[in-house]
Amino acid sequence: MDAAAQNRVKYPQDHRQPAALFGGIHHLQLHGPPTLEFSTPEAEMDAMADLVEAGKIKSIGVSNFNADRIRRAYDALSKRGLPLILNQMRYNLIHREIETDGTLAAAKELGITIVAYTPLGSGILTSKYHKNPELIQHKNAYYRGTLKRELEQTRLLISVMEEIAANHNATLAQVALNWVIHFNGDCVVTIPGATKVRQAEESAAAMNFVLSADELVRLDGASRNLK
Ligand SMILES: NC(=O)c1ccc[n+]([C@@H]2O[C@H](COP(=O)([O-])OP(=O)(O)OC[C@H]3O[C@@H](n4cnc5c(N)ncnc54)[C@H](OP(=O)(O)O)[C@@H]3O)[C@@H](O)[C@H]2O)c1
């Protein structure tokens, strides 16, 4: 049995279920910038394994771990007989770096779920800045530059998303989320942010339809070369 299958057999998909996530503190996330290495993945995972053995947490997830750190964390936990359940990474139709830097491949190989953060590109993929560019002026100077660049880069993508959204009677946000959770089989789940209840409801409803293979390919083509 390969490593991915072993991981899934030990924890049979329950970590993907909302009930498991919200029925108590199921995961303890470890947030740490990989460039500031005050410790090692091995030391961090040993500490996390201690918490599992003490009954304080049920399973272990990390955040912003690149392929090398995922593999080191996975190996360290394997020595303690524990799986690495998830890795939280930025992933959306604009930022697809994990597809080419080895992070997604390592996660797939080892059976680790990618939890995609900023799946809506912090609002760019909802087209709110395309429709009201003046909103950018309210952002801080650094972010303004990024938003202006991303707004220009994504005009074609947004028009493709609008066509696809119309096919499903869906919103752009729902198309963006649907692509994130379906483009890589069952390896990726997502945690969209929301400032309003309506947005949270709309995001949840993005799971009610599935983009066709042709639509996934069109979105892939319109976004592949953005970064
Ligand atoms: N692990 C990490 O290092 C890391 C880093 C960053 C973020 N995160 C996490 O990732 C999650 C999401 O990040 P995020 O909120 O920055 O980005 P996001 O999910 O890409 O964008 C969320 C924003 O889009 C807008 N929106 C949400 N649903 C919408 C809808 N249905 N229709 C239209 N607009 C909608 C809302 O902003 P408006 O209402 O203002 O338009 C909302 O705040 C958060 O839980 C955050 O903690 C993790």
Closest ligand 1 atom to 198 CA: 31
Same domain, yes or no, for 17 and 98? yes
Side chain identity at 188, as an amino acid letter?
V
Residues 190, 181 contacting (CB under 8 angstroms): yes
Same domain, yes or no, for 168 and 210? yes
Q: Is residue 54 part of a domain?
A: yes
Same domain, yes or no, for 57 and 133? no
Q: Is residue 209 part of a domain?
A: yes
How many Å apart are CA 120 and CA 97, to the nearest integer?
A: 15
Residues 151, 123 contacting (CB under 8 angstroms): no
Q: Where are the alpha helices (DSSP H) in 30-171?
A: 41-53, 67-79, 97-100, 103-110, 128-131, 141-153, 155-167
The pLDDT tens digits of the residues spanning 138-167 come to: 999 989 999 999 999 999 999 999 999 999
Q: Measured in angstroms, how far is the CA atom of residue 194 from the centroid of ligand 1?
A: 6
Where a domain ends, among 59, 87, 117?
117
19-28, 34-43, 209-218: the lowest-pLDDT one: 19-28
Q: Whose CA is nearest to atom 45 of ligand 1?
A: 193
The pLDDT tens digits of the residues spanning 45-94 come to: 999 999 899 988 888 999 999 999 999 999 999 999 999 999 999 999 99
Residue 157 CB: number of other CB atoms within 10 A? Answer: 25
Dihedral-angle region of residue 210 (phi above 0 means left; psi in -120 to 50 means alpha; beta otherwise):
beta
**Number of domains present in the structure of the chain:** 2
Residue 189 CB: number of other CB atoms within 10 A? Answer: 17
Q: Measured in angstroms, how far is the CA atom of residue 10 from the centroid of ligand 1?
A: 32
Ligand 1 site-directed mutation target among 118, 131, 188, most atoms within 8 Å of CB: 118
How many Å apart are CA 144 and CA 39, to the nearest integer?
A: 34
Q: Whose CA is nearest to atom 40 of ligand 1?
A: 195
Where a domain ends, among 66, 89, 117?
117
Mean pLDDT of the chain: 87
The pLDDT tens digits of the residues spanning 189-211 come to: 999 999 999 999 999 999 999 99
Q: Measured in angstroms, how far is the CA atom of residue 193 from the centroid of ligand 1?
A: 3
Same domain, yes or no, for 29 and 101? yes
Q: What confidence score (pLDDT) does residue 12 get?
A: 37
How many Å apart are CA 40 and CA 60, to the nearest integer?
A: 16
How many Å apart are CA 1 and CA 160, to the nearest integer?
A: 41
Closest ligand 1 atom to 123 CA: 24
Ligand 1 site-directed mutation target among 90, 122, 161, most atoms within 8 Å of CB: 122
Tell me which residues have their CB closer than 6 angstroms to ligand 1: 31, 63-64, 88, 117-123, 126, 128, 171, 173, 191-195, 199, 202-203
Residue 18 — very low, low, confident or very high, per pLDDT cuts 50/70/90?
A: very low
Q: What confidence score (pLDDT) does residue 56 get?
A: 85
Q: Measured in angstroms, how far is the CA atom of residue 145 from the centroid of ligand 1?
A: 19
Ligand 1 site-directed mutation target among 115, 161, 199, 201, most atoms within 8 Å of CB: 199
How many Å apart are CA 196 and CA 219, to the nearest integer?
A: 27
How many Å apart are CA 54 and CA 37, to the nearest integer?
A: 26
Same domain, yes or no, for 100 and 80? yes
Where a domain ends, among 101, 117, 133?
117
221: containing domain: 120-186+196-227
Greatest C-alpha distance within the chain? 55
How many Å apart are CA 121 and CA 220, to the nearest integer?
A: 15
This prediction has a pTM of 0.88
Q: Is residue 191 part of a domain?
A: no
